[in-house]
Chains A and B, each alone.
Chain A
């Protein structure tokens, strides 16, 4: 009677939405993380201007992620959010402060340093909290009858702290390669300089996480080590992307470092998905168990097919309107 496996289609849609969010908000959070370390206040102006036109649209993908999960996989929404209750609050508080910092920093004189901190602090907290979510997902949740029954701080473990730091480093790398693309002169030179150390940091943390994960979860270790499977292609691709970042930075390419960093994120993300598939609320529930009613999934899917192409079109148009290098002294005012 049910023509398509809608839950499967929705898993792809949500998966797409999440990686869109990670890549798009990732670089502007990354710019925030790097903010305090910039060579000068002028450079900070340029950094902010480089993401100012787009960060708001980027964040709307997060809202879509939340609403989309509620619509398609309500169990994910209603287990993750209670389980991560305190973490979600920190994430939202971080996003609020960095959001308003964009606006007020340029109006302030004496209080300017406060907004610098609001922007950097908010971005850092938000990025760390998102990394913790990833770690908590790998770790799994204590549930009974589809309801979270664990404690308030179960999500906070050494492992999730490490994944938090991992995403922090990853977003910083996205930020620095974005700056290579969008800036020039001294600031760009600085971005080139910090990219390689950031890359090393990312590789080290991702490496530790990869070694640790099989111990956290049996399914993962079985999947990766029981027999030599094709999924080993993913870490190989990740390393190739890393190599490409390193080489393109040495060659002073402008666009390639950013593109390769996105590649690094995508392959890592796919690695995470194949390790966990098809569990969306580990260790117990698969995507089919977490799905909403067939009817509801269908009702939204029909609209989505119509509207999302239009959304993508005008989003692309905004990026096009604000294309090119951001220079000092132009931009905000």
Chain B
């Protein structure tokens, strides 16, 4: 069998970017949460806020570090595997990614040090400021990278001359048509991720009866937040979809599993798309509902996949199912947020064990929703890389052979598997040790290093009774 460098590069890119994406989406939400906790600690002087902040900062440090190492890989992917694309789009993507480095990455790196290690070294106000700067940095970062990605979805402000994009309007290119929706949708996804993880972990501690006071506060806060942002995500997602209908109708057709352009299109709840025969094998749907959602008219005409040639269709089943998983999880999130409101009288939200158990499992839901969301977006634009202008096949590195691509694909899988396993193992330890290990944090020695992960100095090993053993502390 001939190894196809294009397919292998696509798999590799999908793998490394999905691996990378799970970290930022969490750190963006968590950074803001920590900034809020720091603000509350600063204002009220209630030690509970500081305990919570110190704990979540440790978790943050681990996740952020994994985001950094996987992000460095991303910045070289365009050159190694997609060099024709990099060559063509450098006039736009180059400055955008460089702006991300100088306005976001340096900012995050510097102030993270102060946030992690500076609690006793700088005045409380400066420490709070550092927390706010880190949170701001993560948003600046997502601003630039989502602008880059949105431009690939809905290119604007450029013209193609001799195979190279030239920017004709920077503001049109940066604020391209799908950018505002994607940025908001992603920001909300980050908050949802932060919110559900914090809620899930707090629920788990409450189930075990640990640090009830602090965890109740954290859970209550999260539930209020989720009550607003979970429904907001539905609304934003709806607008996002309408925007996509305008600019990438084929993608919407794939999301809806709609093969023929017609009116009164049903909203399919379940179907098995059969791309070969251009139809669905089995359908359960709500009559005319898709027309209603997409055109706000029961008789509205919805474009189908038959508008484009078969070779120009994306893989329908992936888009169709990913979209359903994302929306399904979104609905489940709204349900949980409402349940939280319903259980609030009498403080049942922190006593009802079923609810707490449910929340525990919901903590992975946002990660799945985010990944499937990206699958919809990215797979749905196939075969285009820059929508309507440049295909994936044109973009791949010409000198790349199947063997080379396979070598690095396997290499990244092995490396990431090892790093991920160690990271998760380590995060689990942080969670097991829990909030009370906070004391050791306050004895900040003058030489504490400033970088990700090292704030989370929790032992790796357990003794024979299953109690945590302090790690061999640097020769002390």
Contact = CB atoms under 8 A, between A and B. Distances in A.
Interface in B414-466: 415, 419, 422-423, 426, 429, 440, 445-454, 456-461
Interface of A: 41-42, 45-46, 49, 52-57, 59-60, 62-64, 66-72, 74-75, 77-83, 85-86, 88-89, 92-93, 95-97, 99-100, 102-104, 106-112, 146-152, 292-293, 295-296, 299-300, 303-304, 307-308, 311, 314-315, 317-318, 321-322, 324, 326-333
A296 B407 CA distance: 35
Interface of B: 62, 65-66, 68-73, 75-76, 78-80, 83-84, 86-87, 90-95, 97-103, 105-107, 109-111, 113-114, 118, 121, 164, 166-167, 170, 397-401, 403-404, 407-408, 411-412, 415, 419, 422-423, 426, 429, 440, 445-454, 456-461, 469, 471-476
A67 to B, nearest CB: 4
Interface centre among A100, A299, A326 (most CB of B within 10 A): A100
Interface centre among A78, A79, A83, A106 (most CB of B within 10 A): A78
Nearest to A149: B399
Contact of B110 (A82, A318, A331): A318
B101 A109 contact: no
A151 B107 CA distance: 40
A283 to B, nearest CB: 17
Given A42-B475, A104-B426, A332-B474, A70 B399 contact: no
Contacts of A151: 399
Contacts of B451: 52-56, 102
B460 to A, nearest CB: 4
Nearest to A299: B95
Contacts of B86: 70, 74, 77-78
Chain B interface main SS type:
helix
> 5 closest pairs, A vs B, by CB?
A71-B94, A81-B79, A74-B90, A52-B449, A103-B453
A106 B79 contact: no
Contacts of A82: 79-80, 83, 397-400
A331 B419 contact: no
10 contacts: A53-B451, A63-B71, A67-B75, A77-B86, A89-B407, A99-B69, A111-B460, A293-B91, A322-B447, A329-B475
Contacts of A57: 106, 109-110
A307 to B, nearest CB: 5
A99 B69 CA distance: 7
A328 B471 contact: no
B449 A92 contact: no
Contact of A85 (B80, B107, B167, B457): B80
A62 B75 CA distance: 10
B97 A70 contact: yes
A292 B100 CA distance: 18
Contacts of B90: 70-71, 74, 77-78, 292, 296
